[in-house]
Structure 1
């Protein structure tokens, strides 16, 4: 356990760059699932490693050992090292848990505040028009989900581009894309390196919605113009105060890159270009899978080793 328990804490150093690189070569939907799944798996392994470190150190404290009827000499390890390490791990685990709870509560609070704002304006189907003059549009999840758009944004777009914008936001709602972002945000509180997955995930989700909108309206150029014109009309620095920071909007992310992708041949979406080529993508995918698998296996091995040690110590103490 001494060595295995540290592997999940170090593996994101290799897994995160590999996930970011591999996501660039995948279609948007696959990239979003890859980044989210990778973040969740690495965060779970990190939390497990911190929990095991905490338990291993706590069991070497005489009061805890006496409570569990353990023989201290058979637990192994140096208490001078393991007990302080357990204290640090326990503090980190507690901080992660508190940060995750705070992040979740803030997410729901922002959504409730935005919902109260939109409830003051009767919706038309799933569309809610706010009288604000500042151009803005976003997908507000909930039951039911709503496409929120301001009067300023409606004035900025012609009818066909409005439909493309609405289709984009509806794709966010249908795909429950806010849960992808929330999952990665919660994973990032467990390991700081996972924060760098948020930007590529947000881009993948926007591209996912772009492609869904283009398919819905049947015109990639109209969709590209809608995204570009909406981004030019919107002023991110002066975004509406009612828009939650956790929602997705068509004007977010690297808009020129998204517009270029929409104007590219449709076959390029299913097979995005990447310098490494097919062989390189396979190597990156294999490396990422190995990192996640090795991290999970190390956590399980450390847990099994700790369990075996405790059983031996209990058996000896019972003699």
Structure 2
């Protein structure tokens, strides 16, 4: 446990540096999978590492050590981790579990609420028009989901742009993008160091939907103009719609801190450029980091097992 147990925590500091390269240089669908998997795996491995460190502190308490037939005196001499480190790890572990549970509960409630709201919207083709002059549009998850568009947005866009808008929002529903947002957010809740990965995933999800719309309409430049036009109209609106928490829309979710430029200008620029490829180098680097994190956690768990055997009362 001397080194292996700390590796997932160290990788949680390093991995977010790859958020921008993945989001800007890798094909959006693949980038979303890699970012979401990275947030989840690194959050899980770092949480387990905190748990392993916390156990080394617990077995130094005679009352608790007696429950497992371990020698607290031997643990104090054989365990390489400092007691202060174990105590800090225990506090961080408690915070991570509480934050993840709270986020999971809130997300489950919001998804259930969205599903109920979608079911109450009468429609034959999943397309719902809301009488509101504020231009907005979003995909509301449900069984099935709904594409909700305001009258203000319909008045802002022409007929061809309506088709692009619908293709974008339906891509969110078809690919279950709200699940990627929820899972990446869960990882960031458990380990705040991974928030850049979750933020990047929300951006690549919009890029994924943009590319699906471009394929459906066959006109990347037209999709870029539609995204920019919709964003500009929403920016000028003083009272935008307030969609439910898990809803995803053509305007995106929030401003990304990945660069000084906002997400919409970067999406427009990406659509005006040739489609991105899979970037095997980035894929291999991400896979290597996740593999190393998993291996180091398994190695640390094995080391703890050996420690518990060594301090066992004979």
* Pairwise TM-score range, normalised by the shorter structure: 0.7 to 0.9
- Alpha-carbon RMSD: 2.5
**What is the CA distance between 1:149 and its match in structure 2?**
1.1
Identify the match of residue 271 of structure 2 among 256, 259, 262. Answer: 262
**Deviation larger for 243-252 or 146-155:** 243-252
Q: Per the alignment, do residues 24 and 190 of structure 1 end up closer, same or farther by CA in structure 2, a change over 3 Å counting?
A: same
**What is the CA distance between 1:25 and its match in structure 2?**
1.9
**What is the CA distance between 1:61 and its match in structure 2?**
1.0
Where 2:26 maps in the other structure, the secondary structure is coil
**Deviation larger for 180-189 or 109-118:** 109-118
**Does residue 1:271 correspond to 2:277, yes or no?**
yes
**Does residue 1:304 correspond to 2:302, yes or no?**
yes
**What is the CA distance between 1:111 and its match in structure 2?**
3.8
Mapped partners of 2:238, 2:64: distance in 1: 54
Mapped partners of 2:80, 2:34: distance in 1: 41
**What is the CA distance between 1:312 and its match in structure 2?**
2.9
Query: Is contact 1:172-1:178 (8 Å) kept?
Result: yes
**Does residue 1:135 correspond to 2:141, yes or no?**
no
Mapped partners of 1:38, 1:124: distance in 2: 39
Matches within 5 A, 1:23-34: 23-34=23-34
**What is the CA distance between 1:24 and its match in structure 2?**
2.5
Structure 1 residue aligned with 2:311: 313
Where 1:128 maps in the other structure, the secondary structure is strand
What's the TM-score, normalizing by structure 2? 0.87
Structure 2 residue aligned with 1:275: none
Mapped partners of 2:104, 2:68: distance in 1: 35
Structure 2 residue aligned with 1:20: 20
Q: Deviations over 1:27-84 (max 9, x none)?
A: 1111111111111111111111011011111112101111111123433548897444
What's the TM-score, normalizing by structure 1? 0.86
**Deviation larger for 92-101 or 102-111:** 102-111
How many residues are paired up?
304
Mapped partners of 1:164, 1:106: distance in 2: 32
Mapped partners of 1:4, 1:298: distance in 2: 5
Query: Is contact 2:139-2:145 (8 Å) kept?
Result: yes
Long gaps (5+) in structure 1 = 273-277
Mapped partners of 1:19, 1:231: distance in 2: 24
Where 2:70 maps in the other structure, the secondary structure is coil
Query: Is contact 2:45-2:294 (8 Å) kept?
Result: yes
Mapped partners of 2:174, 2:119: distance in 1: 21
